[in-house]
Amino acid sequence: MLNLERLRTLDALARHGSVSGAAEGLHVTTSAVSQQMAKLEREVGQQLLARNGRGVRLTDAGRLLAEHAARILSQVALAQSDLEAQRGQVVGELRLAAFPTALRGLFPVALAALRNDHPALRVRSRELAPEEGVRAVLRGDADLAVVLDWYNKPLPMPDGLAKAPILDDPVEVAMTEDHPLAGRDEVDLDDFADDEWVAWPEGEFCHEWLLYTLRTKGIEPRIAHCAEEHHTQLALVAAGLGVCVAPRLGRDPMPAGVRAVPVRHRVHRYVYAVWRADADRRPSIRAAVRALQDAAPKAR
């Protein structure tokens, strides 16, 4: 009989593409991954891994078994979800992920409520960019992720995920108080065609959104500085080094000397939770979504 944990190791290898990636995803050592795979090869009587330079690749037999492993593990997750739903109790472990401002703006209130209402539930959380959060849920490294869509550019969403809305997050433009547009009640993004921007790191979903949005207005953005954290971006704005997009979620307190002005044609982000559809009936998932939705009014 095939061992479930060894199938889980094979599935992690197929998803991550390397022994080190599988080890990181499973929170074990690389030697533990290698040992599990060696035992699985003895069990099935076929070679599942082959050397590929300094790394490894799946053989034809390895890929075939990995496809079955993915389906088996999905069925196991569905069975666990149905059992939890039948029992109706919010227990066990729940692994959450969120992009930085959601982690700061939503999680303290939501996780405190979960601990108070469901003391038998163990919650772990970590910070991941939206696209990384989606991948973590698909890989099984997270049970639920808080991610976002921009009003004019949705985050690519693979099949097999369920989702629920958390809040709409209005976006403003932050600038120094002596900026020529700081005294206005509203601004347009077009007004900053000649300004330098402080943005997210290159390649990130939010960075690509800013480039896309400004270019659709005929503006080639001048990205002067990049930083992951909004508070770091705002600190660079306060130093007079550019302007930045400033969503309200998790933003306060604003640095001295910085003003955020609303955008005339409403710019906003849709913040929502995603989880695997085969875990849809888990009471812990439902409890987490409710806690996040209840925390949303306090985050604005």
Q: For 157-180, what is each residue's pLDDT tens digit?
A: 888 899 999 999 999 999 999 999
d(CA 107, CA 67): 35
∠ CA 117-121-124, rounded to 5°: 115
Q: What is the pLDDT of residue 153?
A: 92
Q: How confident is the model at residue 300 (pLDDT cuts 50, 70, 90)?
A: low
Report helix, strand or coil for 230. helix
Kind of pairing, strands 222-226 and 196-199? parallel
Q: How confident is the model at residue 86 (pLDDT cuts 50, 70, 90)?
A: low
Q: What is the largest CA-CA distance in the chain?
A: 74
Query: Which two structure tokens, joined as six digits, stand for 278?
Result: 């085969």
Rounded to an integer, what is the distance from CA 103 to the centroid of its chain? 10
Q: For 179-235, what is each residue's pLDDT tens digit?
A: 999 999 999 998 999 999 999 999 899 999 999 999 999 999 999 999 988 899 999
d(CA 36, CA 27): 14
Helix (H) or strand (E) holding 93: strand 92-98
pTM: 0.75
d(CA 132, CA 127): 9
d(CA 209, CA 64): 38
Q: What is the pLDDT of residue 85?
A: 64
- List of residues 6+ apart from 237 with CB closer than 8 A: 174, 175, 176, 198, 243, 244, 255, 258
